[in-house]
Amino acid sequence: MRKARQDFFSGLFFLAFGIYMYVYSFNIPNPIKIGVGAGFLPRLIGAVFVILSIILIVSTKIKMQKMLDSEDEQDTKNEINKKSVLLSIGALLIYVLLLKLVGFIIMSTLYLFFAFNLLSPKEERNLLLFAIISVVIPVSVYLLFVKGFDLILPSGILG
């Protein structure tokens, strides 16, 4: 049932998205008059989105009605730790947003240490090991890429 509801709402989302694209396509300038302009593909894909999402919505609706009569299907067994997912996304956002300002080495060290702790089961948490890896990896990646391969990485407050 949850899956059907998910399909239903993703259908609605893509329907809105398709309508938006279709409308937007008319604002795209078309200076060359031969053949199709730059607005053609967005219009086409917008229309495709509309058609596909309507099929998805209708077929899911039919399925949902059938399901109401019968027993609800078993939802996913394994529990999802929502807090942990959000923390993981949040950590990555902070990492990336402060990357330029603070620098690659410091931000990577902080991110790695946090993420190791977030992802590891309690009994395998080894703070000393995590701390060592969190420092060694960014420093060696920095040296390898910047000194070895001549790439640029943000050095931030260390530079």
Partner 1 sequence: MIELLVNGFLGIMSIDTILFIGVGVFIGIVFGAIPGLTATMAVALFLPVTYGLSPINGMSLLMGLYLGGISGGLIPAILLNMPGTPSSITTAFDGYPMTQKGQAGKALGIGIVFSFLGGLIGILVLIFVAPPLAEFSLRFAAFEYFAIAIFSLTMIAGLSEGSLLKGLISASLGITIGMVGMAPIDSAQRFTFGISDLTSGFALLPALIGFYAVSEVFKSSESRELLDMKDDSEAGKIRNYTMKGFGFTFKEFVVQIANLFRSSMIGTGIGMLPGLGGTTANIISYGTAKSQSKNPKEFGKGSMSGLVASESSNNASIGGALIPLFTLGIPGDTVTAMLLGGLMIHGLQPGPLLFQNNGELIYSIFAALFLANIIMIIYQFSNMKVFVKLLNIPKHILFPIIITLCVVGAFALNNRVFDVYSLIIFGLMGYALMKLKFPVPPVIMGFILGPIMEQNLRRGLMMSRGSITPFLTRPISAVFLGLAVLSIIIILYRGRNKSYGNMGGNR
Torsion, Cα of 13, 19, 20, 24 (10° steps):
160
The span from the CA of 11 to the CA of 25, in Å, is: 21
Contact predicate 113/136, CB 8 Å: no
Q: Which is nearer to partner 1, 19 or 88 (CB)?
A: 88
Nearer to partner 1, 19 or 37 (CB): 37
CB 6 within 8 A of CB 63: no
User: Nearest approach, Cβ of 39 to partner 1 (angstroms)?
Assistant: 8
Least distance (Å) between residue 94 CB and partner 1: 11
- Cα gap 31→44, rounded to integer Å: 19
Which of 51, 41, 40, 49 minimizes the C-alpha distance to 20?
49
Q: How far is the CB of 148 from partner 1 (least distance, A)?
A: 8
Closest CB 136 distance from partner 1, rounded Å? 10
Q: Is 48 in the site for partner 1 (CB under 8 A)?
A: yes
Per CB under 8 A, contacts with partner 1 among 81-120 are 81, 84-85, 87-89, 92-93, 95-96, 99-100, 104, 108, 111-112, 115-116, 118-120
User: What is the rounded CA–CA span in Å between residue 115 and residue 119?
Assistant: 6
Place of tokens 């790439």: 151
Residue 107 · residue 95 · CB < 8 Å: yes
Our finding on whether 22 is near partner 1 (CB under 8 A) is: no
Using CB under 8 A, list all residues that contact partner 1: 3, 6-7, 10, 14, 21, 24, 28-32, 34-42, 45, 48-49, 52-53, 55-56, 59, 63, 78-81, 84-85, 87-89, 92-93, 95-96, 99-100, 104, 108, 111-112, 115-116, 118-121, 124, 133, 137-138, 141, 145, 149-154
